[in-house]
Amino acid sequence: MGVLLVSLVGGEFWWIVIIPVGAHISFSLGYSWPTRHSLTGTSGLRCRNSLLFILLMLGFVAGYQAYLYKQLNPGVGVRENIDTWAWRPDKLNNQLTALRGKPQIQFTQNWPRLDGATAAYPIYASAFYALSVIPEDLHTREYLANSRTPEAYNKIVKGDADIIFVAQPSGGQKKRAEESGVTLMYTPFAREAFVFIVNADNPVNSLTEQQVRDIFSGAITNWHTVGGNDQEIQTWQRPEDSGSQTVMQSQVMKNIRMISPQETEVASVMEGMIKVVAEYRNTNNAIGYTFRYYATQMNADKNIKLLAINGIAPTAENIRNGKYPYIVDAFMVTRENTTSETQKLVEWFLTPQGQSLVDDVGYVPLYKTLSDIK
């Protein structure tokens, strides 16, 4: 019964037929096997062939339905969360990026509390472990967190974090800081591209800025209009106050109203089932958006491709030379009059060693790296 309910909720309806039929056949064979009689002659052969045909057809139907379901409902293509254990020094084959040379600063106490966006975690986690002398009994989760952009902004306003590594704030995040009487300082430290993603089999390779706005405002609804297949465009958005949604609304849409996002239901301990913005699913007619680093390195998927905008691809070179239209800065956000340790870390990120870490992780540095001054 549990499997049937899961199948029904998950949309995998073929199991509703296959499970009871398969169970009935298995029960019947098991029950009659001890008293079975050999099937001989023409009638016996026909019976065996009929049973075999039925089983083969059931298997074919189940397999085909599963194939159709996966085509229409692929798994989530770009998840906005990560396993932070991959960036721990005690994990074998961890993904931390080493510094170039000996650390120019070190923290042995009063460690700044770091938090931020998922896409920025590899940078600030690598810096935290490279620059900190950590006692064995220290719980690093008190100083190194990945709450994602909306909660990270809440924590810096409340004073529960010293530095957050994020994209520009939304209007709502600025307003909440002002209402709390908190002055936030924004220090850019890296450059990144805001990108649009589609299925790798989508024949469209480039969109204009106006076409992007028309798609996400609902003015264009079919891929054929922009040179693709005759398919309805399936748009995917991000939650309000997330870094990517803020950039989308301010820099891409330029405050043009977007169509309503697709939603899904998730379980909440406090509120039961609640509706949230659905994550990108890589269907043949899908389009979504994220940051270049996240799509190409943290969550790389060969079945997803990045679109050029106005014919300009979102490469590191086109970010450096400023040709790609949607270039964004990544910020270190601190409270005014922060601690000396926090300010020291902010300043270190702007040095050639700090900018080299930004470069080595995969972002585009804003200032000179160690390679530039050799």
> Where exactly does CATH 3.40.190.10 map onto the chain?
84-191+330-365, 193-327
Determine the pLDDT at residue 90.
83
Determine the pLDDT at residue 10.
46
Residue among 238, 209, 226, 222 nearest 285 (CA) = 222
Determine the pLDDT at residue 39.
56
Determine the pLDDT at residue 20.
62
Instruction: Specify the 3-state DSSP secondary structure of 107.
Output: strand
Determine the pLDDT at residue 21.
59
Determine the pLDDT at residue 9.
43
Q: Is the pTM of this model over 0.95?
A: no
CA distance linking residue 78 with residue 295, whole number of Å: 7
Q: Yes or no: is domain 193-327 CATH 3.40.50.360?
A: no
What residues form DSSP beta bridges with 327? Answer: 193
DSSP H or E segment with residue 64? helix 41-72
> DSSP assignment of 163-198, as one string?
EEEESPPPHHHHHHHHHTT--EEEEEEEEEEEEEEE
CA distances to 149, 151, 175, 176 from 179, rounded to whole Å, are: 19, 17, 6, 5
- Kindly tell me the burial class for residue 23, based on how many C-beta atoms sit within 10 Å of its own C-beta (0-12, 13-18, 19 or more): exposed
Determine the pLDDT at residue 85.
87
Q: What CATH number should be reported for the domain whose range is 84-191+330-365?
A: 3.40.190.10
Determine the pLDDT at residue 264.
80
Instruction: Specify the 3-state DSSP secondary structure of 78.
Output: coil
Q: Flag residues of the chain having pLDDT under 70.
A: 1-52, 55, 57-81, 265-275, 374
Determine the pLDDT at residue 4.
47
Determine the pLDDT at residue 100.
97
